[in-house]
Amino acid sequence: MKSIYNVIVCSLFLLLTACSDYLDVIPDNMPTIDHAFSDRNSAETYLFTCYSYMPVDQLSRGNNVSLMSGESWMVLSGDNYWFGKDHTAFDVARGLQNSNTPLLNYWDGDKSGKNLFIAIRDCNIFLENIHKVVDLEEYENRRWTAEAKFLKAFYHFFLFRMYGPIPVIKTNLPVSSTPEQVKVYREPVNEVADYICELLDEASGDLPEVITNEIEEMGRITKPMALALKAKVKMTMASPLFNGNDRYKNLVDNRGVCLFPEYDENRWDEAAKACKDAIDCAHEAGHKLYTYQGFLPVSDITRYKLNLRYAITEKWNPEIIWGTTISDSPIQGACMIRTRSSEASNNTVIATIAPTLDVVERFYTRRGVPISEDKQWLENGRYDNRYKTEVAGDSEKYLLKEGYTTAKLNIDREYRYYASLIFDGCIIWGNGVVDDNSSSITYGQMKRKQIGGQLGTDCYSLTGYTPKKLVNPESVVSNSSFSRKRYSFPIIRLADIYLMYAEALNEAGAEKSEIFQWIDPVRERSGLEGVEASWSKYSTNSGKINTQQGRRAIIHQERLIELAFEGETHWDILRWCEADDYRNRPIRGWNVNGETEDEYYKETVLAYPIFATKDYFFPIKKSSLNVNSNLIQNYGW
């Protein structure tokens, strides 16, 4: 069916010579379209086609958003590493984006990007024809229609975050369209956001709150997903990148339409309401913050670590509002290290994803405040000497290998630090050993020539860290294989919505007690006191909690810690207009060529990335602009 459709559309392109690759044109009364909606099974197949475009693979090779954000770096040695020949997201982080052949091109579909305008076109075809199916129950018709509207909204949103103003494709254009009609415009960002929310509102009423047929339907769209996505849309539109951005106030098309609006403080109120609606709906559907309920006799410290690790890697756990299965993804091998000499020949555990020292230093101390503010760290000189070494003592035995020499930076940190990161000397709970006190429990040995360090030219961590939180504790490394325990990677989880709500409340001028009540549960499940208690007792900047600006910094850091390596950091630092800072910092790690403690524990600069103002939005391919003169390029490209 699609091949016939494409021939006709291509013919139209040649005839008009003014169309773009993303043009949504649908021929009238095509028999193949009628056949696609002739019965329930055919229509369901078409619905799954609409699903198939979803670019939610934050952990895939070419589209690893954690790499694009600069959270992690990697060895780039020919093609002999986890990414094969597809390292597109990393190329974006390295400053190789361009407007001739844009990387991750979701506008036209190129360079590891899918053409999402085709996805929107297929959603429109589905919505325009689903009424033709004669053997479809009414409730199924409503549900499938709602799913297609959600997908259409999501594809618009994905493009919206990447490109800012985009064409709004409400319906497909007929083949009788004139050359001028097919020259679509980019619409103002507030109108784009409003339309996305309109679709989600229409969809939410006909979506199920929970998936009851879990075997066959897990991953299908639910009402909590729709409201959570709406909350993200509202948060994005309220944030500085879109709400009164002076850098883009002069982006005006040939109609004289300004594509970025003036600042509107009411957008934060709208965002707060959307977040609260999403939270209420999630709670009603049974979603809650994950806490480890296993029966293994683990210490309280290990339990705190497992709270976060399993919130990510326990399949379809109650915290996950929207998840996607990555059962065959090699990402776990790219985050795991070898831990035993018997694993030396294992080529699937390669530790190539390397968090930077900047991210490592972002996590709190054990007392739940930044390392540069912690009174105890400052009084005993730990902060100034954080790159020096110390022997791990008995009090750290569930976190660090007792008697092992590691950096002071790795000691006395919050439990999310040890749940999120593998590093030299850290305990790696799981990997076939689940007894906290077993002498066989594995730990990181990351120096050169050690089993988890640099053994070859490219299969090692460039910084001395890897993201432990992306490795399921039940995955096991053996001599020649890595048995990966499959899980559903969280696209949206409840902690994300809690922290968004706290952010929106703060920007809308709410009282601090109202704000902190949504941050504190996230901290509590990781073994930390609440924000007010922690800053009052332990921080040198205790007044930080009493100002909107101070609370903003706390909320931002809380999101960067809790959601590290999950793909959110990239979008957050962009919408906050803080990427100029974060993505221009030197990429730092340990000297992983060092074989001794003195050689290894040296702060080492690995790269100097360049992020310019133009990088806040992706470029539109120049050839697309040449084809459609009504489109204008994003700033700086």
Percentage with pLDDT > 90 across the chain: 79
Q: Are 472 and 487 in contact (CB under 8 A)?
A: yes
- Residue carrying the six token digits 């694009």: 68
- Residue carrying the six token digits 């974060």: 582
The per-residue pLDDT for range 460-469, each reduced to its tens digit, is: 999 999 999 9
The per-residue pLDDT for range 202-259, each reduced to its tens digit, is: 999 999 999 999 888 988 999 999 999 999 999 999 999 999 999 898 899 999 999 9
More confident site: 308 or 59: 308
The per-residue pLDDT for range 323-359, each reduced to its tens digit, is: 986 555 678 988 999 999 888 778 788 898 999 999 9
**Start-end of H helices in 455-546:** 494-507, 512-524, 531-538
The per-residue pLDDT for range 215-225, each reduced to its tens digit, is: 889 889 999 99
Residue 431 in this model has a pLDDT that exceeds 60: yes
Contacts of residue 216, defined as CB under 8 A and 6 or more positions apart, other chains included, come to none
> Which pLDDT band, with edges at 50, 70 and 90, does 61 fall under?
low
> Which pLDDT band, with edges at 50, 70 and 90, does 4 fall under?
very low
The per-residue pLDDT for range 67-112, each reduced to its tens digit, is: 889 899 988 764 444 545 578 888 999 999 999 999 999 999 999 8
- Residue carrying the six token digits 């009052």: 536
| CA separation, residue 379 to residues 384, 410, 411, 441 (Å) | 10, 17, 15, 34
Percentage with pLDDT > 70 across the chain: 92
> Which pLDDT band, with edges at 50, 70 and 90, does 177 fall under?
confident
Q: What is the mean pLDDT of residues 115-140?
A: 96
Nearest to 466 by CA among 431, 407, 424: 424
Would you state the pLDDT for residue 326? 58
Q: Provide the CB-side half-sphere exposure for 448 (13 A, CA).
A: 15
The angle subtended at Cα 88 by Cα 228 and Cα 593, nearest 5°, is 110
> Which pLDDT band, with edges at 50, 70 and 90, does 266 fall under?
very high
Would you state the pLDDT for residue 173? 85
Structure tokens at 46: 């078409």
Q: Are 461 and 592 in contact (CB under 8 A)?
A: yes
Would you state the pLDDT for residue 510? 98
d(CA 203, CA 123): 13
More confident site: 125 or 28: 125
d(CA 505, CA 199): 25
> Which pLDDT band, with edges at 50, 70 and 90, does 21 fall under?
very low
Would you state the pLDDT for residue 448? 94
d(CA 367, CA 390): 19
Contacts of residue 439, defined as CB under 8 A and 6 or more positions apart, other chains included, come to none
Mean residue pLDDT of the chain comes to 91
Count of Cβ atoms closer than 10 Å to residue 202 Cβ: 15
Would you state the pLDDT for residue 243? 97
In this structure, of 164-178, 255-269, 396-410, the range with the lowest mean pLDDT score is 164-178
Count of Cβ atoms closer than 10 Å to residue 76 Cβ: 16
Longest dimension (CA), the chain: 78
Question: Which residues share a beta bridge with 290?
Answer: none
Would you state the pLDDT for residue 25? 47
Nearest to 161 by CA among 107, 119, 99: 107
